[in-house]
């Protein structure tokens, strides 16, 4: 009997393990259009901060600012004065110096001693920053406090060369980057572990998406910790099981998947002839007639010359030929579509160009048959 008991127990254990595996596998299946919560929301208070500063780039090969950039001359004279070197600004040649604005983004939870990239942009009449070196430049936030100091070689990622009659240029040599060139000196205080709740801000506010996020969170965690405040904000109370472990809670929170809802929208760019339709765009049954009208005008001149050794004059007579062509297209019925594919197939059946499609969509919207927002950019 013992071997039979062991066999039965092992079989039961295997069945339980298989059932657990299947339940985990089925539970992990998410819709194809589902996305992670972390990809569509931001945590309030966890964001970048913009930094800006004014500095000088030196070491340029005659491509720096000219005499018209008086602020560059004054800045160079002031810098030399602080270093104990007094010089008359009128005697300075600044063709190897360029004044720039340095910008950077201070990431959240950045710590003193970390490094970030800096973007430098010429504000004078310098023509090329290639090969230059950015001198020590304080970077300030909106409150006027210095949070980082930038210095280092500038990389433009391009070049410029010119001769007497022609030149060539790649990218924009008056803008460059100092890779890991800013050293963080001050931290932004944020006591993240002391929080008892977190708020999520949707990148694209929508009531349906916000409700789905709250429902997904309440399903995954006990105690119904999430509530929707408005179309763009979900407030979440930290569960007791995650007390003192808010980082682990946010990690589990961001990995949840939801299906965001999108509004029916048609984006039109008339400059490029681009048309983009959302998934939920619908068109009611309409009849469309669209014809192209083309007018061609040809100008020529008939010249009549007199015979040799005659007293006649040359006569020039203008000759204008105008031809008008209009497509004889009849009415075409576009049935009410149930999907974006049906709408596209119906419109393609008319043999439209993108610019024709723009005109027709505007007319359909004016008739009230287009159930979508029409945005023209």
Note the pLDDT tens digit of each residue in 135-182: 999 999 999 999 999 999 999 876 666 665 666 766 778 999 999 999
* Measured CA angle at 51 (ends 48, 54), to 5 deg: 165
Q: Which pLDDT score, from 0 to 100, does residue 7 have?
A: 53
For the full predicted model, state whether its pTM sits above 0.75: no
Average pLDDT, the chain: 81
For residue range 181-206, list pLDDT tens digits in order. 999 999 888 778 888 889 999 998 99
Length of the chain measured in residues: 377
Residue 12 has what pLDDT? 57
Predicted confidence (pLDDT) at residue 25 exceeds the cutoff of 60: no
d(C-alpha 355, C-alpha 290), whole Å: 12
Q: Is pLDDT at 227 greater than 50 in this prediction?
A: yes
pLDDT at residue 9 tops 80: no
pLDDT at 291: 65
Of 26-30, 39-43, 218-222, 352-356, give the lowest mean pLDDT range. 26-30
Least confident range of 19-33, 83-97, 253-267, 289-303: 19-33
| Residue 20 confidence (pLDDT) above 90 | no
- pLDDT at residue 97 above 50? yes
What is the separation of C-alpha 274 from the centre of its chain, rounded to a whole number of angstroms? 17
Asked whether the predicted pLDDT for residue 122 surpasses 50, the reply is yes
| C-alpha triplet 186, 187, 190: angle, nearest 5° | 155
Give 31-84 as a 3 state SS string. CCCCEEHHHCEEECCCCCEEEEEEEEEECCCCCCCCCCCHHHHHHHHHHHHHCC
The residue ranges of every structural domain in the chain are 49-156+171-184, 191-258, 266-305+314-376
> What's the pLDDT score for residue 17?
52
């Amino acid at each position: 009997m013992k071997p039979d008991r062991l066999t039965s127990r092992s079989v039961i254990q295997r069945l339980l393990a298989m059932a657990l595996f299947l339940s985990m596998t089925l539970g992990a299946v998410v819709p194809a259009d589902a996305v992670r919560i972390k990809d569509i929301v931001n945590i309030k208070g966890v964001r970048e901060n913009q930094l800006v500063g004014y500095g000088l780039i030196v070491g340029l090969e005659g491509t720096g600012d000219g005499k018209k950039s008086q602020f560059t001359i004054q800045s160079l004279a002031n810098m030399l004065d602080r270093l104990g070197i007094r010089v008359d600004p009128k005697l300075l040649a600044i063709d190897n110096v360029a004044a720039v604005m340095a910008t950077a983004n201070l990431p959240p939870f950045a710590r003193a001693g970390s490094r970030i990239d800096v973007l430098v942009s010429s504000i004078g009449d310098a023509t090329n920053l290639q090969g230059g070196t950015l001198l020590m430049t304080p970077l300030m936030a909106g409150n006027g406090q210095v949070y980082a100091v930038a210095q280092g070689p500038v990389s433009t990622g391009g070049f410029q060369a010119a001769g007497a009659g022609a030149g060539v240029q790649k990218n924009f040599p008056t803008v460059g980057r100092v890779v890991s060139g800013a050293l963080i000196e001050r931290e932004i205080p944020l006591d993240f572990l002391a929080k008892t709740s977190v708020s999520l801000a949707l990148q694209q506010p929508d009531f349906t998406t916000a409700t789905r996020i709250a429902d997904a969170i309440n399903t995954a965690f006990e105690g119904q910790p999430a509530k929707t405040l408005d179309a763009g904000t979900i407030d979440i109370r930290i569960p007791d099981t995650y007390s003192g472990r808010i980082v682990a809670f946010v990690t589990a929170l961001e990995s949840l998947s939801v299906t965001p809802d999108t509004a029916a929208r048609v984006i039109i760019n008339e400059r490029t002839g681009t048309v983009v339709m959302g998934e939920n765009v619908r068109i009611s049954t309409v009849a469309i007639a669209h014809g192209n009208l083309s007018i061609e005008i040809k100008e020529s001149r008939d010249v009549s010359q007199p015979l040799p050794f005659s007293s006649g004059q040359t006569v020039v007579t203008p000759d204008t030929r105008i031809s008008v062509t209009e497509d004889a297209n009849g009415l075409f019925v576009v049935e009410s579509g149930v999907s974006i594919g049906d709408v596209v197939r119906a419109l393609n059946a008319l043999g439209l160009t993108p610019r024709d499609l723009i005109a027709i969509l505007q007319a359909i919207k004016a008739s009230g048959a287009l159930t979508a927002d029409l945005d023209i950019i």
